[in-house]
């Protein structure tokens, strides 16, 4: 009787695993070590115009400390780890010879992830384009980025495809395009007047993603390519019906953001409701009012079916009254608080994705930059009640989505493992781990785990979900 009970309880447990994420420019440092060439962020923050800004020359020095950092994973029973490869660390001159030292670095990182019992999620591109690609053809402002990226992807597939199964091609295409190539607020700093430039750049990035995935699926790399899974992490703020947005406005905005990202990669093109949603709301400064470009028939064939799961980044919900926010707004405060904390938005967005695409969902980023952590004394940072409250509500929303809504949310990658360089600032602290003296020259950069991180680990231990992921292909077969 007991055995049967145990077996059936096990059979009922949902498939889910969790871990942490980070990105190369934000965490590695070692900007000119090991044969790494400058990327557009090195160039940007070293330029005269930004000489007084913070930069990520050192940041959390993960390049030298990754082995120790990754040891944290098994102590928390965390089994996923997302990192990005810095293109200019592994290839010379944009598309020139591979840099063997850089290739070996990420190979060692992947081995350490696997040795610590975790599954690597490899982000191919998290915005730190080789400066050489920008100098040669303006990077993502030119279709030449597609063939250049395919050469880069070939290097990654050959080097890591035996141990990496989960690939994220381009992180947040809209953020990269808008901030880097239209508004010029981040590197490489190109300014173009119209949001149309962002829309065109996103379409180019979708074609790039599709070309890389098709290359993987039709190519012959190392015998493991049939096992690889691909995602395209989206940045979509959820819009909530309420006093600010009517139901139809909120629905249109969600369609025009979430559908814009994933319709082409699932269906081969935008469905009509996405195009209608773009046209309907001319007051929105961003996506609305400007139609997305038409894809050619040839493009549509390549685009369709190029994501194996929905890679969902979630931080914030727009249109809720301040009184509905579960904890104080995070990130960007006090100047421009952009993170409105509302866990129900996560659950609603995940439902939206599943209803539309019927695919597994992996939460590729969820996190909180408590607005006060830059100024509080250490013990209050480590025990921050707002961070704890954030995780309580968001873990509840995730498990409700899994257990009540029956959504196939298969993974959570907490953004981020450590406090790091938040694209211009060190005072927006998303980390599960505090870094002593981050941003201060010569600081110890000692790691201290925040207490809310132990809460997360205990929460998932209690859930006893089944881990659906299988470590590197050499390690344990396939799922």
* C-beta closer to ligand GBH: residue 170 or 208: 170
* C-beta closer to ligand GBH: residue 224 or 423: 423
* C-beta closer to ligand GBH: residue 60 or 114: 60
- 373 part of the active site: no
Residues numbered 429-468 forming contacts with ligand GBH, rule: CB under 6 A: 430
For residue 367, the minimal CB distance to ligand GBH (Å) is 7
Neighbours of 10 (CB within 10 A): 10
> Is residue 419 at the binding interface for ligand GBH, with CB under 6 A as the rule?
no
Count of residues of this chain found to bind ligand GBH when the rule CB under 6 A is applied: 15
CA angle 403, 404, 406 (to 5 degrees): 65
CB 388 within 8 A of CB 256: no
Measure the CA–CA gap between 85 and 66, rounded to whole angstroms.
Answer: 14
* C-beta closer to ligand GBH: residue 181 or 224: 181
Strand partners, 119: 80
> Is residue 84 at the binding interface for ligand GBH, with CB under 6 A as the rule?
no
> Is residue 23 at the binding interface for ligand GBH, with CB under 6 A as the rule?
yes
Question: Which one among 263, 365, 373, 419 touches ligand GBH, defined by CB under 6 A?
Answer: 365
CB 45 within 8 A of CB 56: yes
Residues numbered 389-418 forming contacts with ligand GBH, rule: CB under 6 A: 415
> Is residue 123 at the binding interface for ligand GBH, with CB under 6 A as the rule?
no
> Is residue 235 at the binding interface for ligand GBH, with CB under 6 A as the rule?
yes
Strand partners, 170: 125
Name, in order, each residue with C-beta under 8 angstroms of 300's C-beta and a sequence gap of 6 or more.
Answer: 264, 268, 269
Q: Which stretch binds ligand GBH (CB under 6 A): 48-56, 223-231, 330-338, 404-412?
A: 330-338
For residue 97, the minimal CB distance to ligand GBH (Å) is 29
* DSSP characters over 266-309: HHSS--HHHHHHHHH-TT-SSSTTSPPPPPPHHHHHHHTT--SS
For residue 127, the minimal CB distance to ligand GBH (Å) is 7
> Is residue 41 at the binding interface for ligand GBH, with CB under 6 A as the rule?
no
> Is residue 426 at the binding interface for ligand GBH, with CB under 6 A as the rule?
no
Which one from 172, 240, 365, 373 is the annotated catalytic residue?
172
Q: Helices H, strands E: what count in the chain?
A: 20, 13
Whether omega before 188 lies within 30 degrees of 0, making that bond cis, reads yes
> Is residue 338 at the binding interface for ligand GBH, with CB under 6 A as the rule?
yes
The tokens of 323 are what?
């009184």
Q: Which stretch binds ligand GBH (CB under 6 A): 41-49, 239-247, 331-339, 354-362?
A: 331-339
* Residues 298-327 as x/- pattern, contact with ligand GBH by CB under 6 A: -----------------x------------
* C-beta closer to ligand GBH: residue 175 or 473: 175
* Residues 159-198 as x/- pattern, contact with ligand GBH by CB under 6 A: ------------xx--x-----------------------
Which residue stretches of 47-99 are H helix? 62-70, 72-76, 87-90
> Is residue 28 at the binding interface for ligand GBH, with CB under 6 A as the rule?
no
The DSSP symbol for 259 reads I
SS (H, E, C) 131-195: HHHHHHHCHHHCCHHHHHHHHHHHHHHHHHCCCCCEEEEECCHHHHHHHHHCCCCCCCCCCCCCH
Question: Which one among 97, 336, 404, 478 touches ligand GBH, defined by CB under 6 A?
Answer: 336
Name, in order, each residue with C-beta under 8 angstroms of 11's C-beta and a sequence gap of 6 or more.
Answer: none
> Is residue 332 at the binding interface for ligand GBH, with CB under 6 A as the rule?
yes
Strand partners, 18: 412
How many residues does this entry show for the chain? 479
Measure the CA–CA gap between 294 and 292, rounded to whole angstroms.
Answer: 7
For residue 23, the minimal CB distance to ligand GBH (Å) is 5
> Is residue 285 at the binding interface for ligand GBH, with CB under 6 A as the rule?
no
> Is residue 284 at the binding interface for ligand GBH, with CB under 6 A as the rule?
no
Residues identified as active-site: 172
Residues that bind ligand GBH (CB under 6 A): 23, 26, 171-172, 175, 235, 315, 331-332, 336, 338, 365, 415, 422, 430
């Amino acid at each position: 009787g007991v055995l049967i009970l145990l077996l059936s309880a096990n059979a009922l447990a949902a498939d889910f695993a969790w871990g942490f994420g980070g990105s190369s420019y934000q965490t590695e440092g070692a900007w000119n070590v090991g044969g790494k060439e400058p990327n557009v962020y090195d160039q940007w923050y070293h330029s005269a115009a930004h000489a007084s800004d913070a930069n990520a020359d050192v940041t959390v020095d993960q390049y030298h400390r990754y082995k120790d950092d990754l040891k944290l994973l098994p102590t928390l029973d965390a089994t996923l780890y997302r990192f990005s490869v810095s293109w200019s660390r592994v290839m010379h001159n944009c598309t020139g010879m591979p840099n063997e030292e850089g290739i070996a670095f990420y190979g060692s990182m992947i081995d350490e992830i696997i040795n610590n019992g975790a599954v690597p999620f490899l982000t191919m591109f998290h915005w730190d384009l080789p400066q050489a690609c920008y100098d040669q053809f303006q990077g993502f402002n030119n279709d030449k980025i597609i063939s250049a990226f395919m050469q880069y992807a070939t290097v990654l597939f050959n080097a890591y495809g035996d141990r990496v199964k989960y690939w994220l091609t381009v992180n947040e295409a809209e953020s990269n395009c808008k901030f880097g190539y239209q508004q010029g607020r981040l590197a490489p700093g190109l300014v173009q007047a119209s949001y149309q430039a962002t829309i065109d750049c996103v379409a180019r990035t979708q074609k790039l993603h599709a070309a890389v995935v098709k290359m993987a699926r039709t190519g012959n790399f190392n015998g493991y390519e049939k096992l690889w899974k691909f995602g395209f992490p989206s940045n979509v703020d959820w819009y909530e019906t309420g006093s600010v947005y009517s139901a139809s406005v909120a629905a249109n905005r969600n369609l025009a953001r979430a559908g814009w990202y994933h319709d082409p990669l699932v269906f081969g093109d935008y469905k009509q409701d996405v195009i209608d949603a773009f046209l309907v709301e001319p007051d929105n400064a961003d996506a609305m009012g400007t139609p997305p470009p038409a894809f050619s028939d040839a493009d549509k064939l390549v685009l369709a079916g190029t994501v194996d799961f929905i890679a969902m980044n979630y931080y914030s919900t727009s249109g809720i009254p301040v009184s509905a926010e579960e904890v104080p707004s995070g990130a960007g405060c006090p100047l421009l608080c952009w993170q409105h904390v509302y866990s129900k938005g996560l659950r609603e967005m995940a439902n939206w994705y599943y209803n539309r695409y019927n695919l597994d969902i992996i939460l590729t980023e969820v996190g909180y930059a408590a607005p006060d952590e830059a100024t509080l004394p250490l013990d209050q940072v480590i025990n921050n009640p707002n961070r704890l409250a954030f995780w309580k509500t968001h873990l509840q929303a995730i498990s409700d989505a899994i257990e009540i809504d029956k959504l196939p949310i298969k993974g959570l990658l907490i953004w981020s493992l450590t406090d790091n360089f938040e694209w211009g600032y060190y005072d927006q602290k998303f980390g599960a781990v505090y870094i002593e003296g981050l941003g201060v020259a010569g600081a110890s950069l000692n790691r201290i785990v925040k207490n809310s991180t132990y809460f997360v680990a205990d929460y998932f231990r209690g859930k006893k979900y089944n881990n659906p992921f299988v470590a590197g292909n050499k390690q344990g077969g396939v799922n």
